[in-house]
Amino acid sequence: MFQHSFSASVSRIATFEDDLIQPCDEQPETTNISLNPLSMVFNYKGSPVSIDLLESFACSSEVENCVDIAHANNIFRVIVSAHAHLFLIQALNVSSLLLARTTSHIIAINYLARQNEKIQQKLIGLLESSESNNMKEDIRQMLLLKNVVVTQRLNSLQQRPLPGIELKKKKKKKKKKLH
């Protein structure tokens, strides 16, 4: 277990509105960030933001020393002084160990692999279900996002490159081509 506080610049780079991502052009603010295995807490625009690391999506940014974190209806960009990718991996690995309720990377990898199998089974079952097409699509999108999060955690624990949001976009495009 660790608790770490540091100073970083934070800005909101996008918001989610229905199925669309709307870009935001907001200036970064310097703030203190408190990071523990379960959450990241900081102030943004005078209000506290608490991000549950077990339920958020984070990926390295195309901008150096930045991490993009999707939380609620927002995507925040956190600019750290150095090694943003290592910061992201450490946060993912520690929270993955907590998620699997273990201190062993091997047990956490096995747990996450089982979770990934369950997600794949649900996706297959969805194709065979009698749900309405709109309901199926909502469930499918949720499962695809969970798949990205689990894959990201697995790759982090196994020291493989982290998938970003583009993985979800690719799967979405492939699915559209099948229809």
pLDDT tens readout for residues 107-153? 999 999 999 999 999 988 888 877 777 777 878 877 887 888 888 88
* Domain-wise residue ranges, the chain: 4-88, 100-178
Tell whether pTM > 0.75.
Answer: no
Task: Say which CATH topology domain 4-88 has.
Answer: PH-domain like (2.30.29)
How far apart CA 8 and CA 86 sit, in angstroms, is 15
Q: Which pLDDT band holds residue 70 (cuts at 50, 70, 90)? A: confident
